[in-house]
Structures are given as C-alpha cells and as structure tokens.
Chain A
C-alpha cells in the first residue's frame, strides 16, 4: 500500500477517536485543501496568471479551513470576514516584498537538482513566488482568526479592553512559536548545508533561498499580527 495513503487512513482514525464527527470534518477540510493546492499547481502550469489563481484558491482555502474546522457558525463567520480583510492587505505586502527581494525561481543551491530540465518554460516565476508567498500565510491567518473569534465569543459581556488585550497578546505569542518552529524545521537541511560549507553570515543574509524562506515566515508573522486586532474589531462590530 502507498505510504501516504496509509498515513492518511491513520490520521482519519486518530481524528475520529479524538474528535468524533468534528474530527471527520477536520479531516475532510485537510483533504479539500490538498485538492485545492493540486488544482492551483495545475492552473498555474496551464497558463493562468499565478497571482490570480492564488487569490481565488486562497479564498476557497480560507472558507474550507474556517467553516469546516469550527463548529460554531457565529465564530466561523466573524473569523472568515476578518480573514478576508487581512488577505487583501497581505496580497499587497507579498507582491511588494517578493518583487523587491528577487527571490523568485530557484537558487544556486538547487543547480544540481535542475540538471536536465528545460528552464525556459514560458511561465512567470516571480508571480509563482508571489502566489506561494500568499498561500503559505493562509493557514496562519485562518488559525489566528478562529482562535480570536472563539475567545471573544466566550468572553461575551466580559470583553473589556484589558481582557481583549490579553487575548491579543496571548494568541500572537503562541502563533509566533508555531511559525518559528515551522521555519526552522522546514529549513534545517539548508542550515546544515550553510554550516558545512562555512557560508559567511553576510552571504547567508543575501542568499536567495534563505531570504526567500525568511520573508515567507515574516509575511506569515505580519499576517497574524494584523489578523488578531482586525478579528477583534470585526467581532465587536458584529456583537
């Protein structure tokens, strides 16, 4: 049996045990996101403008993640509205940041892997980098928006400015940990490469892959830092 298929089955079993019906809904959300990301790749390779594809698929990813993993409709609607507002801002940030950073395409460390490939393939790699920059932040936006909407909903009448501030600081603090370790995990192999070859730190600071990865995480951190106050604002207006 295919190992990834079996991993998926095991996850379905665990989610069913721990989460019951909601666990199944969570599993279906992950499955839907998987199909959406594969669809995004196919559309981009098929010649559609990558940033446009990312915005449309991104809306669907947000909707799936927020509505299928939260049981409370009021919470989900607040989170979704806030996430849409944040995504609009993040598009500008990611497009500008990627354009300035020249991190699109592949780095010199990828050279060996690219041997034998045709690289003049008539797609816009800069736009693809913008698309992946945007899509990479969406999970973090959805998570923060759901967490804030749920907490504010629970506070109800007790939502004083001080209580809201505490919610804001806690949620951003924990989201930072998630993103920070995600960054170190995904990039440990390249860090070992840098250390082994004794890259001077100024070279690392200008290295295309390092900069590309670091700004991806910074985009996500900025997105979360904006999501929290915006979700509180939306929740107050809807209350």
Chain B
C-alpha cells in the first residue's frame, strides 16, 4: 500500500521534469540539423590562440577587443568533415559580436582572404524552449491546451496571410488590412473562448469598440499636441509610414489584453442574477481589479525591450532626459494608448453585458 502510494507520488512529481526532457531532446536533435541548411555551418573543435587589446572610446569607456583563432570542422556543404581555420573578433561588451567556445555551431562567411564567423546557430535553443513551453502548458492546461493551441495557430495563419497580402500590395492597404486583421483576430479568438453564444457578440463588440476608441483618443492627442515629444522616426525596422506601423503595433499589441478582460467581465456578468444596474456595477468592480495588472503586463513587455538601447545611449554621452524621450518614449506612448483600451473596455463590456443578459433572458 505505502509502496504504491510513494510510486504515484514519484510519478506525480516526476512529470514536472518532462518539460526539461523535451528541451534536452529537441536541443540535442538540432545539433544534427546542419545538412538542412544551404548556408555553410561549422562546429568549433579547438581554440588555438587569442589576442587581447584594451581600448578606450571618446567617452572614456574602457573595453577590450579580442581576436580568437579557431579550428572548426565543416558540418555541411561539399567540405563536410574537413577542418578549417577561422578568426572571430569581439569586444568584451558584446554589442554586436560575441566570443565563440568549443562545441558551438556557427554560420561562417568567406571574407577577403579567410573564413570568418558570421553568426551563431540558434535553432536548437529556440525550438527546445518552444518544446519545453508546450510540454509545460500541456501539463498545466490538459484538454484546454488543444483549444488554445488551435486558436493561436489559427491567428498565426491569419497574421502570416495578412503580411503577405500587405507586402504584395506595396503597403498601400496597410491600415485597412491591419484593421480587418484585428477584427478577424478578435472574432476568431473570441469564438474559441466563448463558443457561439451571446457572449461572443458582447466580447468581440466591446473589444473592437474599446480598441478603436483608444486609437481615436491617442490619435487626437497626437494631433492636438502636434506630435511634440513623439519621435516617430524611432519606430524600428520601418522604412515608410512609421506612424501607421505605430498604430498597428498598438492595436495588435493590446488586442489580447483587452479581449481577456472583456471575456472575464462578460462571463461573470452572464452568470449573475439581478437587475441590469446591479450587473453593471458588478462588472465595473471586476474590471477595476484586473485593469491595473493587465496594463502592467504590456508596459513591462514593451519597456523591457528598450533597455539595451537606452544603456547604449547613456554610455554614448546622452543626457538621461534625452535618452528617456528618444529611446523609451515610443514604448511609453504605446503602453499609454494600450492602457486607454484596457480602461475603456471595463464600462463598455459591463454595459453591453448587463443590457444583453436582460434581453437574452426576456
């Protein structure tokens, strides 16, 4: 009796190791993926020598540059199995480069005379972490995992299709296309959360209205202030229409948070007895408790991304106020406009759910 009991305990605790096992298996398999690539890949077999040199820049920052001489073995192309000598140069800070170590797999390019390290192979770690995440989610969500995975998979397909249409249309349709995408995202995801009921109508309508209102208010504020303090030229990886991309980022970025909040409130209100007024107030009180942390989720996600660049700016002799305005400014603006949507969704959903729940029952 005690033996079987302790056995189930072991199984119970042992399953929490499965995500780590999944990571290890996928990570190990990806070590053999080099033949799938056209780009030349090598594995470092030895570090032969390295040369260090101290450097000081114009701002008095001390750093060290290192040149590594490396022996590596080809993992693909016609040279597979042969050895090659490489050089890798990096600074100790590692802003755009990094040291290589024995056993690492690297992409290489042919320089003017010798082969040089161009990048790390990252498929193992990213797919491994992906497998680890999926296994963990399967453990904690069980049946609901498949529903959520299907919903996210469908959304990824929609996103992929929209990107290709957008690029094919030379970005002329961008705003209309992404607005339509946001509506499609909302309806598709809501259907997965609520099935097809009156809840679907409440959640998608209030999500779309709240997000649209947030963008409208944001746009009005920008226009009224003449975009003072908003440095749209710092929207990253954009060559044309940075303003458009800024709003696209806000809309898609906040959609999930707003949708979850609307679903939370609407589901609770549909189960609640009593008159519409009481239901509306109950909705407000649920919303008040969730809106703060939801805003924090997006805020931390958006602002954490700016840390690297902000440190670079400060160490390049820029003032704190300049750095905050130029590097973190757009992140703040994005968080604030998203926050409008999260706050506005509370009365919108409460009102709509209180009113419709009465209609449905009558």
> In angstroms, how far is the closest chain B Cβ from the Cβ of A60?
12
Chain B CB within 10 Å, residue with most, of A4, A10, A113:
A4
Would A61 and B300 count as touching, CB distance under 8 A?
A: yes
| Residues of A close to B252: CB separation below 8 A | 181, 184-185, 188
| Residues of B close to A109: CB separation below 8 A | 237
> In angstroms, how far is the closest chain A Cβ from the Cβ of B65?
7
> In angstroms, how far is the closest chain A Cβ from the Cβ of B64?
8
Would B300 and A139 count as touching, CB distance under 8 A?
A: yes
Would B251 and A121 count as touching, CB distance under 8 A?
A: no
| Residues of A close to B236: CB separation below 8 A | 110, 113, 189-190
A74 in contact (CB, < 8 A)? no
| Residues of A close to B304: CB separation below 8 A | 37, 132-133, 135-136, 216
Task: Knowing A26-B291, A120-B93, A174-B264 are in contact, say whether A34-B332 is a contact too (CB < 8 A).
Answer: yes
| Residues of A close to B260: CB separation below 8 A | 174-175, 177-178
Would A205 and B126 count as touching, CB distance under 8 A?
A: yes
Would A97 and B249 count as touching, CB distance under 8 A?
A: no
> In angstroms, how far is the closest chain B Cβ from the Cβ of A167?
12
| Residues of B close to A34: CB separation below 8 A | 299, 303, 332
Would B122 and A121 count as touching, CB distance under 8 A?
A: no
| Residues of B close to A61: CB separation below 8 A | 296, 300
Task: Knowing A45-B314, A120-B93, A222-B136 are in contact, say whether A146-B293 is a contact too (CB < 8 A).
Answer: yes
Would A119 and B122 count as touching, CB distance under 8 A?
A: no
Contact partner of A121 (CB less than 8 A), chosen from B95, B123, B292, is B95
Would B125 and A211 count as touching, CB distance under 8 A?
A: yes
| Residues of A close to B227: CB separation below 8 A | 3
Main secondary structure of the interface of B (DSSP, over half): helix
Q: Report Cα–Cα, A106/B307, bound state, in Å.
A: 12
| Residues of B close to A226: CB separation below 8 A | 136
Q: Report Cα–Cα, A69/B346, bound state, in Å.
A: 15
Would B230 and A3 count as touching, CB distance under 8 A?
A: yes
Would A177 and B259 count as touching, CB distance under 8 A?
A: yes
| Residues of B close to A26: CB separation below 8 A | 288, 291-292, 295
Would B255 and A185 count as touching, CB distance under 8 A?
A: yes
Mark the stretch among B7-15, B337-345, B353-361 that contacts chain A.
B337-345
> In angstroms, how far is the closest chain A Cβ from the Cβ of B224?
7
Would B59 and A121 count as touching, CB distance under 8 A?
A: yes
> In angstroms, how far is the closest chain B Cβ from the Cβ of A147?
7
Closest to B314 in A: A45
Would B256 and A4 count as touching, CB distance under 8 A?
A: no
Closest to B136 in A: A225
* 19 A-B residue pairs with CB within 8 Å: A2-B229, A3-B221, A7-B218, A40-B307, A117-B316, A121-B61, A121-B311, A122-B92, A123-B93, A126-B94, A133-B304, A136-B301, A139-B300, A143-B294, A174-B260, A177-B148, A181-B185, A182-B298, A218-B129
Q: Residues of A with Cβ closer than 8 Å to B?
A: 1-8, 10-11, 14-15, 18-20, 22-23, 25-26, 29-30, 33-34, 37-38, 40-42, 44-45, 61, 65-66, 68-71, 97, 100-106, 108-111, 113-114, 117-126, 128-129, 131-133, 135-140, 142-143, 146-147, 150, 165, 168-170, 172-182, 184-186, 188-193, 195-196, 202-203, 205-208, 211, 213-216, 218, 220-222, 225-226, 228-229
Given contacts A181-B257, A184-B159, 7 further A-B contacts (CB under 8 A): A118-B316, A120-B57, A135-B304, A136-B304, A139-B300, A181-B252, A190-B237
